[in-house]
Amino acid sequence: MIGLDTNIIVSFLAQDDPKLSPKATAFMGQLTESQPGFISLVVVAETAWVLKTGYKMKDADIAVAIERMLQASELIVQNEQQVFYAVAFAKQGRATVADALIGALGSRAGCDHTLTFDRKAARLPEFELL
């Protein structure tokens, strides 16, 4: 298994850098189920943030991109179930991937709820406004 940094994932997804995107694409094409790439939660959150702030993508489109990573048999996504949960809420427009992931991970850790000042995040069942 090989760990993948955010810049590899973003270069692969965006296909906008004439030097880096082909390298990322070629590397991703070499991954297999027996030699997969590993995507950590930090990379998931960073990728969502870069796509939103740098590429001005909508939350639902970001969720679809992350969902594709979840579906790829040659990729292992840390805490896959919680990421899938976050993607589902983001695709519905109910939250950002990051907010829904924060709530899902807190719930998995045994939190009764997660406190926030973010009114949109507070609409998720795992959150409460402070």
* Single-letter code of the amino acid located at 31: L
- By the 8 A CB rule, do 100 and 90 touch? yes
Instruction: Tell whether 113 is covered by a domain.
Output: no
Predicted structure pTM score? 0.87
Number of domains in the chain: 1
pLDDT one digit per residue (tens) for the chain, 130 residues: 999 999 999 999 999 999 999 999 999 999 999 999 999 999 999 999 999 999 999 988 999 999 999 999 999 999 999 999 999 988 888 888 999 999 999 999 999 999 999 998 899 999 999 9
Instruction: Tell whether 50 is covered by a domain.
Output: yes
Instruction: Tell whether 80 is covered by a domain.
Output: yes
Range of the domain at 22: 2-93
Instruction: Tell whether 130 is covered by a domain.
Output: no
Rounded CA separation 103/124 (Å): 8
Instruction: Tell whether 117 is covered by a domain.
Output: no
Instruction: Tell whether 64 is covered by a domain.
Output: yes
